[in-house]
Structure 1
Amino acid sequence: MEFLLDRSDAELNALREEFANAPDRRLTVPRFIAALLPYYDADLSDTQKRIQLTRLFRAVDVDGDQKVSWDDFSSYAIEDKLRQSRPLPHEAIRPYKCTDYYEHRNGGSVQKMVHLKHWDKLVISSRKLPYTILNTSNMSHYHTMLPSAFDGAPVACEYVPTARLFVTSTADMCIRFFDHNFDCVARYHIDKSHMSLRWHGFSGTLFSGSRDGCIHQWEVPAVQEYRVLPSDKPLEPIVWRGCDPKKCPHEPKKCPLEPKCSYDPKKCPHEPKRCPHDPKKIHVHSKAVMDMMFLPNIPSRMVTCSLDSRIVMWDLDRDVREITEVGCHDNGVCHLAYSEPYQFLLSTGYETYAYAWISNVPGHKPYKLEDGSHPHRTSLVGVHAAARTPQIVTCDRRGLMKLWDIRMFRCVHTFTVGAMEGSQMQYYPREINSFAYVDKLQQILVSDSRRVFIHEYNEGADPKVADANGIQLVRYNPTVNTFVTVSGRDIKIWDVNLGCLTNHFRDVVDSDITALTLDDFGRRFFVGTHEGGVSVHNLQDGKMLKQFEAHEAQVTEIMQWQGRNLVLSVSLDGRVHIVSDQFQETPVFLKITANYTDIVAAAISKNLSLFITGTQGCQIFAFDITIPRRIVHACETNDLGVVSLTFLDQLPAFVASYVNGKVRIWGTRPYQHMWRSDGQLQCLAWFYNNPEMQHKRWRRYAAKQYPASPDPASPATAAAAPRAAA
């Protein structure tokens, strides 16, 4: 649409007349190309121009009736321009880039690849090696199962986390259970090969779908129970069979579990609930069950798809006969996915497009995910919905991948498998046979006959919102779920969920901000500056609400106690200021001279009503907030300057760190055995943070266990005594 931006008003009016003179005021594809071709002055041949205009027509034609009006055309042009000029938020879908690949050696051609999310492993099935298990974090080798353990080609696999069992289904019509040492602890013969295996953690059962349309439910025992079972003993699963419903389901000869069924067919032979062996024998799928899944928001709902082109939803809490047919494809259905935030069920088969079904509205016409400008040319090998995002990923057999936005049912990115980032070489893969998605790492894994390509999601760092200077402070606001960063005199607020910048307050104060804190309600923030100023601001617009009397030097720490409406600040001038932040009251301004300069750290404990400060000369003072001028405790060490202080909330103790790498734990009131009789703090333990100085490890000064004796002058409640004693 860039070629229309430089056109004059007369040319745009002439183009508008072309739409107005057309039948129904809408242009078809030939007339659309003829109308826009004179204005398309790109350096392309006439054939290439017509191809580009045809793709533009398909993008504008949202309803697919092969006609475009002037309103559709102008709306698309405006929307396209705004989308290009709009800054990219975190919720916008960004492209994936191929960063690495794994080459499967000595295993023959890769036939199938499966990601087991309960195990966080990647399983590759090849012609020579049935199952090769890799770690998804770094694609390192975990284990290889040799062909001698199987008598047929691999078909499906699953992992049971509760029993730590690896379950396989092979073409020799056997289901095998392997323990964590990959020893076969159980093997069961079945009448048909099972094409899909799924573990249902909500009910603790394993489901499998066979080639004849049966759904089997396996009650998985513990590993110890497997070892005492003979390998030829049947497991006796509950079979959901797609048999002929006209035949009596309770005929003893048809019972698949026992040849001699004890059920008497003369007594109510057509009541399905009376048969103890085959209570769920119904006609559902007539061909192989290719995939099954469970809805995350409704764990009792299971969805299955088959080569008979049907998608069926089962309710596991009710009778198995109560099923719902979601819809049908023109051909067989092979893959299922579910978008939990938007509750769309996605399905693909042998078509070149995917369907999006509304899961809670049976019989609703599905939405077709088809890109008109650059569609898939071959059948899809899979579809996946990224967790907690609107991303939908599809891939066809030629390696063309598309990224969709489920909110608009529109393709936002198209890329090809094999384009390596940072390399001039581009590998063109062979026919794609498998496709997987790792939600934990936000990676797309695509395999051809030799390699597994790793595509990582672009996190979308925007250098335009970066600060010119370094960030001095970061504070988290749990009320609105945002981060507040300080750089110089500027304050930025970032949305945690979207990852984008929401507010930018420039030149909040006259000098650089050196201290910042938020109130308990997350509506105001208090700042201290390099020149000693202290003020409170509104978090919505950054306006100053109140300014307190300033310090004589740089403010190093500022804190606020909402319960007592107090603001406490310390500075390099050696003073502690305690003022009231209430507007209706007369400000209370107290100066507590510590007789030592350069206060660099401070901490507050609301449970103990204590406020501690630390200086560069290794002095620590503890003040009583209720009686601000009273120094409760004091201590001095031979270490270098204090770096930081923090209270252990549930204990009458705090931690102090020093410049030389030493960390000390000090005891405070209300227990007398945690300080000396002269008011000096008691060091309970200390250690070095520097690994090179850890030869002495912990030095303990903790004394005997004296009975707890609260300080009468302390306002701490007796409820804190059991916690502190512990």
Structure 2
Amino acid sequence: SDPEKGFTMDIMMLIDMDKVGSLRDEFQQKERGLSITEFVQVMLRFVKSSNQSNEAALLSDNKSHLHQLTEPQLIAYLSELFAQIDINGDGSMEWEEFTSFIVDTGLESQQPNSIQMYHHSPWEDTSKHSASIDRMYYFASNDRLALCEYGGHYLKIYNSKCELLKALKSPEGFVLCAEYVDKMNQYVIASSDLQLRFFDDTTYRLIKSCHTPTSQNCLQWYPQANSASGIIYAWDADKMDERHHMGGIGRDGKLLTRSHDGILESLETLASASMDKTIRLWDVNTGKHKQQLDGHTKGVRALAYSSEYRFLVSAGFDFDALVWNPYVDQLILRLHGHQNSLCGVEIIPDTPQIITADIDGVFKVWDIRNFACMQTFSAENINLGEIKAFASITSQKRIVAGGKRMTMFDYEKLRNPKLTDDFPVFVVLYNSVSLSLITAAGTDVKIWDAHLGKLLRVYRNVSSTDVTALCLDHRCRKFIIGDHEGNIRVFDYLNGSLMKSFEYAETQNRAHLSEVSRLIYCNQYRCVISVSWDMSVCIHDESDPEHGILLRKMVGGHSGDITSLAFSYHLSLIATGSLDCTIQIWDYEFGRLDGTCIGHTSGISCLTFLDPYPLL
């Protein structure tokens, strides 16, 4: 979703401890660092060698794009990467500069600004439930939520806003589990009377039913299995023996009955979890047992798989969720933090989120990239009873939990989704290098794709008080903010990491004593000009990598808050406007007041020089 960041993350995925040494040696052969040409040559060799050694792993990972790029594309990306890392534009890159950028980008990806917060929705479940909710399903292909209650005879179908559409009845036995077969637009319900019943998606009419030899605890539709005979097979989850088959259901596909979700489609593998504490992997084409994953001390209730990160996550009566690499039959780690048995686990598609929930109604959001717990939340002041199930409605960025009734948690939504921000957007700037827009509102900065209008990145809490001024540097690689308290800070445009602050002892370790009202970047001098409500005009040297340096401070021109600012390189002049209705003209070189423009009868809101003409 964020092409600027995506390439950097792809490069990071290639760097492992075995290869770091050889890469460092290439950097350190040049004492003054690598030029852009040398950097591209070194990285080209590195990417190509990594692609060859990792070819098998990369080919199985649809999300890795490096091996799909042509050489000209790769060179273009590497040139852009050099420009991003060489943030001061001195034309050389040292090993420390390269590694610190990679680390900063990786760390920023793991901050809460890339995984936002879930919050409890005020929505109330008005539908009636005969008993506590036992199972919940979200069917992404038709954007429907389904649930069944403990000992209930109905599968209740809801839309993504959790409005009840229909209740499908199992006339004899109670509903055990359900699945949606998108190829045939049918719901399949397994019930305690040993029947599988098929209902049409649009009319909700019963189409057919068939007998199963035992009660089925779980159903999973596997569309990839090409059975030319049109037979659907039912498998016993424990032995994976063919127990039952039926004709005339569809041209292809298998119906797999097993104890929990977990088809690993890239591996053509089915994962089944059981109350016997094991997870087993099966070949979907042959039905043969491939391997067994041992690590749980109690029964396993739920599985989730990420094809992007190639992890399998399991949850059950243990208090921890377990993360596995199914490729190598290896337990990676335990997600520790819950205080009761887990009722489910979900991996949200196209995000790095793992969500676990326990029967007390406590949810945890984990970052799959570093397995850090990013958020813990629960329903506020609501007695849900014991939580048995939850589902993630991805179309709405919403989690629905089921206990005595449903409750809802919404993700990163604005109070008014039609607005850019919940707070007034006071500035928007265009970045011509990355073809993006940067907006500031409240204490947050957002980066948007200028072509598509999509939100790319959010840098939260870049200041402790409201951001009041914003500008970009001459290479559009940094953004500089001023805030209500008089602070000025410089951030990396790509990853949002803080680079330096402008802090001076005479202004109480701030840049100004009052709100920074305007900022301008002087490309030719690599300086920042700032004006403030403290009625001062300051010129700061921005070239030092560690901190800002105050070059000049001009005062005495205004008797009210300074509200506007303009700079002309051709004329070497600064113009400032104020609430005192005057415009003051300052000499940039000598920092002296050159003249005053009088004529406005209210405060000045905006100024610009019409370069190269001597007009303001």
Task: Tell which has more relative contact order, 1 or 2 (C-alpha 8 A, sep 6+).
Answer: 2
TM-score (norm 2): 0.49
TM-score (norm 1): 0.42
Q: For the pair shown, which has the larger CA radius of gyration, 1 or 2?
A: 1
